[in-house]
Amino acid sequence: MDVLFPTREQYIGLVGSRKDEGFEMCADLCAVDYLTHHGRQLPEGVRPERFEVVINLLSLSQARRLRIRVQVPAEDATIPSLFDLYPGTEAMEREAFDLLGIVFTDHPDMTRILLPEDWEGHPLRKDFGVGRVPVQFKGAPGPR
């Protein structure tokens, strides 16, 4: 599988050109927090950032896969939305926003998808406090 590392500025143009080349499906879009993994392997010239958005494109007609990895800095955790190119990314981008706090600009509904709107923070960030959320079961009997 080929892996490409565009900058945020190159991202939309690169994905659009790959769609034109026959990558008709965005099979997956997710994000990673590398807060504690600074020494990861990246190609020469790619500056590591705290966050990385990972996109997997699929060409069914050519039986090919392509992975795209985009570095996203913590101080400006934004990246353009792929919604206009691949409408199926709508929920995947919302999940990355909800759990990691990465904002996808020009997204049609950049709101939480898994957590309540009043939730504070993003629970998949490596610096999010562990164990601060009490477990709640709907319909469970209260304390006796």
Q: How many domains does the chain have?
A: 1
Considering the domain boundaries, does residue 38 fall inside one?
yes
Considering the domain boundaries, does residue 29 fall inside one?
yes
For residue 50, give its domain range.
2-105
Residue 131 has a pLDDT of: 62
* pLDDT at residue 59 greater than cutoff 80: yes
Q: What percent of the chain has pLDDT over 70?
A: 91
Q: Is 70 buried (19+), middle (13-18) or exposed (0-12) by CB count in 10 A?
A: buried
For 74-130, how does the pLDDT look when each residue is reduced to its tens digit (9 = 90+)? Answer: 999 999 999 999 999 999 999 999 999 999 999 999 999 999 999 999 999 999 876
Considering the domain boundaries, does residue 88 fall inside one?
yes
Confidence of residue 44 (pLDDT cuts 50, 70, 90): very high
CATH number of the CATH domain containing 43: 3.30.460.80
pTM, entire model:
0.87
Considering the domain boundaries, does residue 21 fall inside one?
yes
Q: What phi, psi does 143 have (nearest 5°)? A: -60, 150
Considering the domain boundaries, does residue 41 fall inside one?
yes
Considering the domain boundaries, does residue 27 fall inside one?
yes
Residue 140 has a pLDDT of: 66
Considering the domain boundaries, does residue 13 fall inside one?
yes
Distance CA 22, CA 49 (A): 30
Residue 93 has a pLDDT of: 98
For 130-141, how does the pLDDT look when each residue is reduced to its tens digit (9 = 90+)? Answer: 665 566 677 766
